[in-house]
């Protein structure tokens, strides 16, 4: 099935099928180099001092660290993986609590504190995915693989600047959506893209697709059912007519 030409500004660069992984990798590498060579991307000295103070029990220093990294953890790690604002907020809170519990075990790394925080946040998200019965894009196995990769690179990937990792996390989530959309009927993918992702008005999407609003409702319902099948590994033949 041909991929739908999704040109949503700002959320997905439409890589040609089959070359997506390679192109994404090289884009990521370029971003890493840019971020590492950028002066703004190296607040390591200040952060290290804050980490030392936080480990010595300075609550204000810990607050500064979490204030700096928390919103990024929420937006790029927790929210895309948990798919719900309330659960992502709970996960962020749980992440902070675990940080407090384990701060004395953390040893400073040249890549900064963010990769360590990111692994903790992903572990919290994994626990929540395992314990919950909510509709999420990521399955526990997916997240476990991400955590394994993150832990392997933890402490030795000096080039893993915060912004780069955050961008990578966003790209992983978007690629997962794109991959699922690629596996369903292009008409269904188009309906989901316009109505669900871009939140265009129902009547407008129906008009663009050449159907009545009531017919579009049925079309969208079928689209979501097809996407649900495509997201599950056991439904590999989730192609709709």
Partner 1 sequence: MDREPAPTEEEVEQARALRDALEGRGDHADAELARALRLAVRPTELPHLEHQAILHRTLAKLPNRRRSFALRIAGVGTSLALAAAVALLVSRGIVAAPGTERHDTVATASLMRSRTTQPLFDQPFPRQGGESARIDRIAWARGRDYRANLFERMGVR
Residue that the structure tokens 């903790």 belong to: 120
Q: Are 54 and 65 in contact (CB under 8 A)?
A: yes
Q: Are 3 and 17 in contact (CB under 8 A)?
A: yes
**Looking at 7, 21, 37, 215, which residue binds partner 1 (CB under 8 A)?**
215
Least distance from partner 1 to the Cβ atom of residue 152, Å: 24
Residue 129 binds to partner 1 (criterion: CB under 8 A)? no
| Window contacting partner 1 (CB under 8 A); options: 14-22, 24-32, 33-41, 68-76 | 68-76
**Looking at 66, 164, 194, 230, which residue binds partner 1 (CB under 8 A)?**
66
User: Cβ of 1: how many Cβ atoms within 10 Å?
Assistant: 12
Residue 74 binds to partner 1 (criterion: CB under 8 A)? yes
| Window contacting partner 1 (CB under 8 A); options: 18-26, 118-126, 151-159, 171-179 | 171-179
Residue 70 binds to partner 1 (criterion: CB under 8 A)? yes
Nearest-angstrom CA–CA distance, 147 and 141:
10
**What is the number of alpha carbons within 13 Å of residue 32 lying toward its C-beta?**
13
Q: Are 194 and 185 in contact (CB under 8 A)?
A: no
Residue 199 binds to partner 1 (criterion: CB under 8 A)? yes
Give the SS3 label for residue 49: helix
Query: Who's near 222: CB < 8 A, 6+ residues apart?
Result: 188, 240
**Nearest CB to partner 1, comparing residues 36 and 197:** 197
Least distance from partner 1 to the Cβ atom of residue 63, Å: 6
One symbol per residue from 131 to 160: x for binding partner 1 (CB under 8 A), - otherwise; what is it? ---xxxx-----------------------
Nearest-angstrom CA–CA distance, 72 and 79:
10
List interacting residues with partner 1 (CB under 8 A). Answer: 8, 10-12, 56-59, 62-63, 66-67, 70-71, 74-76, 79-85, 88-89, 92-93, 96-97, 100, 134-137, 170, 173-174, 176-177, 187, 192, 195-197, 199, 202, 211, 215, 217-222, 224-225, 227-228, 241
């Amino acid at each position: 099935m041909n991929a739908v030409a999704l040109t949503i500004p700002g959320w997905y660069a439409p890589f040609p099928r089959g070359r997506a992984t390679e192109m994404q990798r090289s884009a990521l590498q370029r971003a890493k180099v840019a971020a590492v060579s950028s002066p703004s991307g190296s607040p390591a000295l200040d952060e290290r001092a804050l980490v030392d103070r936080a480990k010595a029990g300075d609550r204000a220093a810990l607050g500064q660290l979490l204030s700096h990294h928390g919103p990024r953890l929420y937006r790029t790690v927790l929210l895309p993986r948990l798919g719900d604002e309330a659960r992502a907020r709970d996960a962020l809170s749980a992440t902070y609590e675990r940080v407090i519990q384990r701060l004395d075990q953390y040893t400073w790394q040249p890549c900064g504190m963010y990769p360590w925080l990111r692994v903790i946040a992903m572990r919290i998200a994994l626990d929540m995915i395992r314990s919950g019965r909510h509709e999420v894009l990521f399955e526990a196995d997916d997240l476990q693989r991400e955590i394994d990769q993150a832990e392997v690179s933890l402490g030795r990937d000096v080039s893993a600047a915060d912004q780069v990792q955050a961008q990578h996390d966003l790209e992983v989530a978007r690629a997962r959506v794109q991959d699922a959309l690629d596996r369903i009927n292009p008409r269904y993918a188009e309906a989901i893209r316009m109505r669900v992702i871009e939140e265009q008005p129902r009547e407008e999407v129906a008009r663009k697709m050449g159907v009545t609003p009531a017919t579009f409702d049925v079309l969208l319902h079928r689209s979501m059912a097809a996407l649900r099948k495509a997201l599950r590994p056991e439904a590999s033949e989730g192609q709709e007519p």
